[in-house]
Amino acid sequence: MKIESRAAAWLGSWLIILVSLQLYVSGTLRLGTDLRLFLPDATTPEQRMLLDGIGEGPVVRLLLIALDGADSASLAATSNALVERLRGNAAFTRIDNGASGPAPAFVTEYRYLLSPAMDRRPLDADTLREALADRLQDLASPASTFLEPLIAADPTLETPSIAEHWLQRKAPRSLDGVWFDAAGKRALLTARTGAAGFDPDRQQRALDELQSAFEAARGDPGIRMTVSGPGRFSALMKERTQREATWLGAGATAILLLLLSLAYRRPWTLLLAALPLASAALVGLACVSLLYGEVHGITLAFGFTLIGVAQDYPIHLLSHQHRGLDPLANVRELWPTLATGVASTCVAYLAFIGSGVTGLAQLGLFTIAGLGVAGLTTRYVLPRISGREFDDAALLPWLGRAGLKLTLPAFPPALYAGIAVACVVVAGIAPGPVWDNDLGKLTPVPPELIAEDITLRRELGAPDARYLAVVSAPTTERALQRLEEVTPGLDVLVAEKAVAGYEHAARYLPSVRSQLRRQQSLPTAPALASALETARQGLPFRAGAFAPFQADVAHARSLEPLTPEAVRETPVASILEALLRISDGTVMALVVFAGVEQPGRIEGWSASAGADVTTIDLKSESEALVIRQRERILMCLAVAAALMALVVRVSLGDWRRAVRVLAPMTLSTLAVVAILRLGGQSLDLFQLISLVLAAGLGLDYALFFERSAAGRAERLRTLHGVIVCSLSTLAVFFLLSLSSIPVLRSIGVTVALGVALNFLLALSLPADRRTGTT
Amino acid sequence: MISGRASAIPVWLVTAAAAVADAQSADVDSLLASLVREPPQKIEFVEVRSSTLLERELVLKGMLEYRGRGKLSRTVSTPYVERTDIDGDAIRILRPNRPERSFSLGRAPGLGGFLTGLVAILGGDREALEREFELSLADGETGWQLKLVPRSKEVRARVESIRLRGSGAAPLCIVTVAKGGGSMTELLLGEAATNPEIARQRALYCGDSS
């Protein structure tokens, strides 16, 4: 009775600590979604651009929208209604469907400073004569309905020409006044979100707004909307991953509960087994929260997978517990082995802290803190609350029979070495590249959606996600000037069909230099009046009909040129922000391309444009980044492996035993790599992490098997523990390998394979100590 | 019984109203039937355009071509050359030495009414016509006048009504009446357009005869 009440007190205090941690964590920890946490810091301006572009660039904010399922007239009407509804919606900075909407007010006011047409022709009598003749035709044409109100103030149609210039790229086919695909079956639109591309929650909100606007705008119930683009993908993948992780988690919990119930036949053990894991999770989260304040979703998902090892700690304890044995004595007996396992695994995760990648460092911290606490919970808390009333695993008849069969003959060291070399060779020569450098694998998108995206992107002439150019300059004004200087070269690329189009900041905001030049070329009031008078000769326009025009030109002569600061409150601001990036006092102006047919020509253009212009192939840059990231991680893992070996050596006391324990783990890691490579897989970051997890588990199995313990009974208890550990891990990761999400699947396959191999190889541990019984 | 008598009056009213509507509708029907044209059809036109920007009216001559199924072409030959193709809701304007311009009727509500009306009349699409306009028919000494009052608020913001005047099966003038009452365009058709005395033709055929 006395013991039981003390156990209750221990349990109670422990639970209170856990609940307080839970409160602390849920109060302070924010869930981050920025993928860049998982990438190494940029070292070159190109890589900085890449990292910026991944989350915040203009390309990843663009949603491509297609409407189909009705005739072109109703699709066009729905397209227009959708634009109408979304214009002014805070979630979108811009929405286009090919129909030019009302221009922002500042464009009308500053049109004579902004319009590039002003460079081609001054506002003289000849220009005006031509314009007035055209406008007269416009007045009598069907276009008069919307042009007539403009003509008095804007006879050269400068405002519409700016709007056209802004949309300048290989515009999609226009049907019923809005964009359509080449077949005329789908109305097309683009929307730029305020949210960054890899902010799945805000992207989801934008998508919801889009959906409800569509439902309200839809003229015909048969019309369907398809949305594509990075934002849609990130929202979709988050939703799918979350949904699958939920049912996988539930499935894994059920399997675990079932296995534990079968193994120990006492409901009480379920709580005991859960305690170290729960403590690990909460302490891990609390540590990350304390040091970083924010945890990435991937850290969480991976972290929970990695600390799954902690599930094994109580299992070893429970399998060795039996009636008559003081739990504290039991744990003191097991502790050196358990502690070696915990310490060596933690050392391996130190590699992640040293990786220089924030997300991985978080992962390392989370896991080390978690596993450490799980080990200590098993050592100091569990024995005080577990009680001693357990059936002796050694007396289980099936285990006795299995124990004989499950003793594999010891592999001679030469065979071990031979297999290891064979695995390395197989991994090296198997078809396909050894390493997967595709950053896209971090957020795998179903291929049919990618195909859809490519089609829409081509139809819309939307920016290419791979190639871009950067113009670096000390100031924004200088960057805009340089963009204007390199624009003729870009126009050549378009004219010669090397690219379908391009976009840069100077298109939306010319440099102050250009604006001043245009301003200085504007005629004085008397000059304009006489030019108008000459132009009007022989045309039926009323004298004085263009007084608003004369007033606007006079006003334009007095304007201060526009700067990015001056347009901060306009819709153009967000476009400029995406295209002009300032870092470390350098302005980096982006040139994004659409429909790149000849990437080599872009290189040629940038080489001749000047030393301040560089072309970036985002794909090769991202691959370089991934390679660098992996090299660092591999280096850290090598150091970690050495440290791990050292921990095992120190703990076991001599190298012979240490090698014996490390050999199965090493061989099974190499074998998993060989098997994966034979299956045609290239290795990526997720598999590396999974291999570390499997190796940590394998080390535990080997340590327990190797543990010098006297007696057949004790050996059977160890076997029981390892069987329960490996079966439960195998079941959980086998479940994960059934996932439809490639990342989860590859983790599942890797760990399941690793656990199975580690278990089998640990059974074959050199027999000198395994036969020292009976 | 009170209830019986009370309900009898509206029934009588409705029947009478329906009879009147039927008579009107029958006339509109027969007029519209007479105006239907088998594509392709060509008809000469003279268009008189007025605007507050202009000190005198702009007079265009050319050819309208009805090509069936919502397709209409308008070719201006004097005082300049221009071709407009209307296909359903899409409008394309072609001028020599100028880039093609295209837009949708949705952007030009006033125009939309006029063209939908014309195409619906030529195609005999009574339903489309009634969807866009309230129709009323009047007979005068010089022929009939069909008045189309746009139903849509957007169109009414610019166009008060469209008056179509003709004689027998021949439409002679279409007047688009701007909001506020002034005429925006007067379109003389067929024999009214071929007569060189434009002012006289306008006086004869384009005034309000209702």
Q: Quick: pLDDT tens for B109-118.
A: 555 556 667 7
Residue A139: list chain B partners with CB under 8 A. 49, 51, 53-54, 58
Q: Which of B50, B75, B103 to mutate to test the interface with A (most CBs of A within 10 A)?
A: B103
Given the DSSP bridges, would you call strands A30-32 and A294-296 parallel, antiparallel or unpaired?
Answer: parallel
pTM over 0.95: no
Least confident of A241-255, B104-118, B179-193: B104-118
What distance in Å separates the CA atoms of residue A710 and residue A732, rounded to the nearest whole number? Answer: 33
Residue A152: list chain B partners with CB under 8 A. 53
Partner residue opposite A80 with nearest CB, options B90, B106, B111: B106
pLDDT, greater one: B20 or A16: A16
Chain B closest-CA separation from residue A137 CA (Å)? 8
Least confident of A110-114, A379-383, A562-566, B133-137: B133-137
Least confident of A4-8, A605-609, B73-77: A4-8
Q: Long-range contacts: A97-102, Cβ < 8 Å, 24+?
A: A97/A178, A97/A179, A97/A187, A97/A188, A97/A189, A98/A167, A98/A171, A98/A172, A98/A174, A98/A177, A98/A178, A98/A179, A98/A188, A99/A177, A99/A178, A99/B103, A99/B104, A99/B106, A99/B107, A100/A160, A100/A163, A100/A164, A100/A167
Q: pLDDT band for A1, please (50, 70, 90 cuts).
A: very low
Least confident of A1-15, A102-116, A246-260: A1-15
Hey, which of A385-394, A546-555, A608-617, B94-103 has the most confident mean pLDDT?
A546-555
Is residue B66 within 8 A of residue A552, CB to CB? The reply is no
Q: Which of B54, B73, B187 to mutate to test the interface with A (most CBs of A within 10 A)?
A: B54
pLDDT at B81: 92
pLDDT at B25: 55
* Widest CA span in chain B: 80
What distance in Å separates the CA atoms of residue A246 and residue A441, rounded to the nearest whole number? Answer: 21
Bridge partners for B74 per DSSP = B64, B84
Q: pLDDT band for A50, please (50, 70, 90 cuts).
A: low
pLDDT, greater one: B155 or A381: A381
Chain B closest-CA separation from residue A184 CA (Å)? 13
Q: pLDDT band for A558, please (50, 70, 90 cuts).
A: very high
A543–B115: do the CB atoms touch at under 8 Å?
no
Residue A136: list chain B partners with CB under 8 A. 58
Residue A157: list chain B partners with CB under 8 A. none
Q: pLDDT band for A456, please (50, 70, 90 cuts).
A: confident
Residue B99: list chain A partners with CB under 8 A. none
* A360: helix, strand or coil: helix
pLDDT at A710: 62
Average pLDDT over residues A392-403: 78
pLDDT, greater one: B68 or B96: B96
Least confident of A21-35, A262-276, A329-343: A21-35
Calculate ∠ Cα A538-A539-A545, nearest 5°.
130
Average pLDDT over residues B43-67: 88
Give the DSSP H or E segment for A528: helix A525-536
pLDDT at A360: 82
pLDDT at A211: 93
Average pLDDT over residues A432-456: 75
Segment B58-87, tens digit of pLDDT: 899 999 888 877 788 889 998 889 998 888
What distance in Å separates the CA atoms of residue A472 and residue B131, rounded to the nearest whole number? Answer: 59
* Contacting residues for B148 by C-beta, under 8 A, at least 6 apart: B113, B117, B129, B132, B133, B134, B135, B161, B162, B163, B164
Is the pLDDT assigned to residue B9 strictly greater than 60? no
Q: Does B158 touch chain A (CB under 8 A)?
A: yes
Least confident of A185-199, A363-377, A436-450, A581-595: A436-450
Q: Which of A84, A176, A546 to mutate to test the interface with B (most CBs of B within 10 A)?
A: A176
Chain A closest-CA separation from residue B2 CA (Å)? 47
ipTM given for this complex:
0.80
pLDDT at A533: 93
Query: What number of other Cβ atoms are within 10 A of residue B35's Cβ?
Result: 17
- Measured CA distances, A620 to A437, A445, A574, A627 (Å): 9, 20, 28, 10
Is the pLDDT assigned to residue B19 strictly greater than 50? no
A540–B54: do the CB atoms touch at under 8 Å?
yes
The four Cα atoms A153, A154, A160, A165 give a dihedral, to 10 degrees, of: -130
Q: Provide the token pair at A652.
A: 């076991």
Residue found by looking up tokens 């390892």 in the block = A722
- Measured CA distances, B115 to A544, A559, A616, B104 (Å): 32, 43, 51, 12
pLDDT, greater one: A548 or A88: A548
pLDDT at B105: 66
Residue A76: list chain B partners with CB under 8 A. 89, 104, 106
pLDDT at A478: 95
A174–B60: do the CB atoms touch at under 8 Å?
no
pLDDT at A770: 43
Bridge partners for B62 per DSSP = B45, B76
pLDDT, greater one: A535 or A742: A535
pLDDT, greater one: B10 or A141: A141
R_g of chain B, CA atoms, integer Å: 19
pLDDT at A113: 94
DSSP state of A380: I
For chain B, how many helices (H) and strands (E)? 6, 11
pLDDT at A763: 80
Query: Whose CA is closest to A566, among A58, A59, A90, A113?
Result: A113
What distance in Å separates the CA atoms of residue A599 and residue A467, rounded to the nearest whole number? Answer: 8
Give the DSSP H or E segment for A84: helix A72-86
pLDDT at B57: 87
Q: Does B91 touch chain A (CB under 8 A)?
A: yes
Q: Provide the token pair at A219.
A: 């003229």
Is the pLDDT assigned to residue A599 strictly greater than 80? yes
Query: What number of other Cβ atoms are within 10 A of residue B59's Cβ?
Result: 16
Q: Provide the token pair at A217.
A: 């705008």
* Widest CA span in chain A: 121
Chain B closest-CA separation from residue A97 CA (Å)? 12
Q: Provide the token pair at A587.
A: 């302005």
Is residue B123 within 8 A of residue B136, CB to CB? The reply is no
Q: Does A145 touch chain B (CB under 8 A)?
A: yes
pLDDT, greater one: A729 or A170: A729
Least confident of A134-138, A557-561, A686-690, B11-15: B11-15
Query: DSSP alpha helices (H): ranges in B143-205?
Result: 153-156, 191-194, 198-205
Query: DSSP alpha helices (H): ranges in B36-188?
Result: 109-123, 126-132, 153-156
Q: What percent of chain B has pLDDT over 70?
A: 79
B82–A137: do the CB atoms touch at under 8 Å?
yes
pLDDT at A131: 93
Query: What number of other Cβ atoms are within 10 A of residue B33's Cβ?
Result: 11
Q: Does B89 touch chain A (CB under 8 A)?
A: yes
Q: Does A171 touch chain B (CB under 8 A)?
A: no
DSSP state of A435: B
* Half-sphere exposure at residue B178, Cβ-oriented, CA atoms within 13 angstroms: 11
Q: Does B118 touch chain A (CB under 8 A)?
A: no
Q: Does A139 touch chain B (CB under 8 A)?
A: yes
pLDDT at B12: 46
A177–B105: do the CB atoms touch at under 8 Å?
yes
Q: Does A136 touch chain B (CB under 8 A)?
A: yes
**Closest CA in chain A for residue B112:** A142
Is residue A77 within 8 A of residue A218, CB to CB? The reply is no
Q: pLDDT band for B20, please (50, 70, 90 cuts).
A: very low
Q: pLDDT band for A171, please (50, 70, 90 cuts).
A: low
Partner residue opposite A177 with nearest CB, options B56, B80, B107: B107
Chain A closest-CA separation from residue B207 CA (Å)? 20
What distance in Å separates the CA atoms of residue B184 and residue B52, rounded to the nearest whole number? Answer: 10
How buried is A412 (Cβ within 10 angstroms: 0-12 exposed, 13-18 middle, 19+ buried)?
Answer: exposed
Q: pLDDT band for A621, please (50, 70, 90 cuts).
A: confident
Residue A131: list chain B partners with CB under 8 A. none
Is the pLDDT assigned to residue A229 strictly greater than 80? yes
Query: What number of other Cβ atoms are within 10 A of residue A727's Cβ?
Result: 17
Q: Provide the token pair at A412.
A: 């001679």
Q: Is A595 left (phi over 0), alpha (psi -120 to 50) or beta?
A: left
What is the pLDDT of chain A when averaged over all its residues?
A: 84
Angle between helices A476-495 and A512-521 (to 10 degrees): 80
B53–A146: do the CB atoms touch at under 8 Å?
no
Average pLDDT over residues A734-762: 87
Is the pLDDT assigned to residue B2 strictly greater than 60? no
**Closest CA in chain A for residue B110:** A145
Given the DSSP bridges, would you call strands B170-178 and B183-189 parallel, antiparallel or unpaired?
Answer: antiparallel
Q: Is B104 left (phi over 0), alpha (psi -120 to 50) or beta?
A: beta
Q: Does B57 touch chain A (CB under 8 A)?
A: yes
Average pLDDT over residues B149-170: 82
What distance in Å separates the CA atoms of residue B173 and residue B126, rounded to the nearest whole number? Answer: 20
